[in-house]
Structure 1
């Protein structure tokens, strides 16, 4: 599905005459699917006509309505498709501090809130025991690799792009792929300790191997460096015992440890105390909900954050909102197809 924003909205509109099977289970589900998608499209189109003062509100609520369409199409029983409330919130006192330190938490698993139910449908974690910083959620979006909310440090973790198309078609006991976007402090460390430390934040990606270079007593990972200092590394994972190492088995192994980002696959770090990574749609949801709440309930503070003459975050915020308008229709389309078992693209 390699379509532009307008083409994606047309594709989504084209699914409304015949919604996914689950969305036709009841008349209410079918009507929700159809009209929630209409509302989502109108809000996104309206967001493209205004500036960052108002964009977070329109984009988030457009995404929220798309979430209702997604759940209407989800193969869940009873009223589990219905979304009541947000299911995600911020600690109000943290709005007064740095943007990066806004504390975000969710309702517990099993709650009816939108974030919780949609997360469950997409096999994405929630967290209610300890808040997560907005900066950590922000960094889970590949679009923000070069625009941290606070000073870039070695604590920062950003997604790693996996070249899935590099998998050999011949059977092999190793799933070998090129992995990109290691930060300079990892790619140029000169030893494997920085790589080990960095990869500890990526759930399910342990047990990897990689090529070395240098003398036996001074070996280092064989990174390929870009001109900006970020690097790529060929990484290998063993297929499970008993597997033949077919292309399908190795692709399944890669998919099990990565998340889809459009047509690409990324290793995504876990946030807070989570042991699995967030689905990218839920990362967008968490970030946009936070920005929309700030813009809605703290307009004076929001105006300062988006003031390009005084705020370091103003341009990154502008960029993120523009990218949200451009890329989220694709995420909505992919997620609808994902949750309906590929029913929409198989037509």
Structure 2
């Protein structure tokens, strides 16, 4: 499950914001950078929409990179010259390895680079010299739920719905956790479910989940989907006892990540023990695809050959969906960072910009 993407509406709202830029982009060099970077980002994304996968990752990544500069220009939390971004701050290597095993590293936490500075701004981890595999990040994108790269046991993004939170004050937060993979449901044991949830920092804090029997060690009561996977009703204890609806929704926002009005539980980046922001997951994946296309075009041509590569259609899909989903995510983040209180990085508990 994932939110409906309306890129034209998102670009329209971003264009409209340039007449009265938000946050710190209201004047001076930051205003000029905000406007110019958004113009370049939109042109790159629109160019990407009319070319094939041979060059599409280049336009998508550089469009995203320029959008990152606009986000930094608007960010209230970035003072002085901290909004100026220098270099990519992320590196992909191991192009001689299988596609899924490509290695991704980031700059150090002290870097002024785009990836590192935006990660700090969005409360997202960097992992410096540690290695994160492309496949691990690939599976964190909800749009890749139906496009696995291998047959391994996956830890995908898990959707939840805060509209299900209603009723009188209650001492527990109850929400469905959706898109749990078949390998977890088929096993069906508490041990496997708990080990699976432990990979997700937000889910690792859960109190209980619905069981098929009242016994404390009873098996989880999954609801299966016809198309594969399923969901489970999970609960958390509220810190101060009985809590009204909005307080419970706020608690969920602190446990999950946002894409527009949608909420997601993401697994941790293993070297850090922290879950990333969705923008930085997208950044990592499209950067890696763009570097492969740019620096090893022969290997890239082989990967996107639908007659010879099992990865061709998943790659086509993620690039197509990047064009559709990233504009609304960029719009949402501009709203977040330009409204951030004081000088703190954006918290997961803050409301995203609502899409009307």
TM-score range, shorter chain: over 0.9
Structure 1 residue runs without a partner (length 5+): none
Query: Distance between the aligned counterparts of 1:153 and 1:303, measured in 2?
Result: 25
Deviation, 1:263, is 1.7
Match of 1:110 in 2: 110
Match of 1:89 among 88, 91, 103: 91
Query: Distance between the aligned counterparts of 1:34 and 1:217, measured in 2?
Result: 57
Query: Distance between the aligned counterparts of 1:307 and 1:179, measured in 2?
Result: 36
- Worse overlay, 317-326 or 254-263: 254-263
Contact 1:44 1:325 in 2 (8 A): yes
Residue pairs, 1:71-150, within 5 angstroms: 71-75=72-76, 76-91=78-93, 94-149=94-149
- Worse overlay, 52-61 or 190-199: 190-199
The runs of at least 4 aligned residues of structure 1 exceeding 6 Å deviation read 342-346
Match of 2:166 among 157, 165, 168: 168
Match of 2:41 in 1: 40
Deviation, 1:188, is 2.5
Query: Distance between the aligned counterparts of 2:238 and 2:352, measured in 1?
Result: 29
Deviation, 1:21, is 3.0
Match of 1:188 among 155, 176, 186: 186
Match of 1:219 in 2: 218
Query: Distance between the aligned counterparts of 2:144 and 2:6, measured in 1?
Result: 21
Contact 2:333 2:352 in 1 (8 A): no
Q: Classify 1:345/1:262 alpha carbon distance in 2 versus 1 (closer, same or farther; 3 Å).
A: closer
Query: Distance between the aligned counterparts of 2:28 and 2:353, measured in 1?
Result: 19
Q: Classify 1:188/1:215 alpha carbon distance in 2 versus 1 (closer, same or farther; 3 Å).
A: farther
Match of 2:64 in 1: 63
Contact 1:108 1:126 in 2 (8 A): yes
Query: Distance between the aligned counterparts of 1:215 and 1:45, measured in 2?
Result: 55
Deviation, 1:152, is 2.1
Size of the aligned set, in residue pairs, is 341
**Which structure would you say has the larger RCO, counting Cα contacts within 8 Å and 6 or more residues apart?**
2
Match of 1:250 in 2: 248
Secondary structure (helix, strand or coil) at the match of 2:178 reads strand
Contact 2:260 2:353 in 1 (8 A): no
Q: Classify 1:79/1:205 alpha carbon distance in 2 versus 1 (closer, same or farther; 3 Å).
A: same
Structure 1 residue 49 and structure 2 residue 39: aligned? no
Residue deviations 1:63-100 (CA, integer Å, cap 9, x gap): 00000000000011111101100000012xx1011111
Q: Classify 1:2/1:294 alpha carbon distance in 2 versus 1 (closer, same or farther; 3 Å).
A: closer
Match of 1:22 among 20, 24, 35: 24
Match of 1:11 in 2: 13
Match of 2:198 among 192, 197, 200: 200
Q: Classify 1:286/1:3 alpha carbon distance in 2 versus 1 (closer, same or farther; 3 Å).
A: closer
Contact 1:243 1:249 in 2 (8 A): no
TM-score (norm 2): 0.91
Residue pairs, 1:299-314, within 5 angstroms: 299-314=297-312
- RMSD of equivalent CA atoms: 2.0
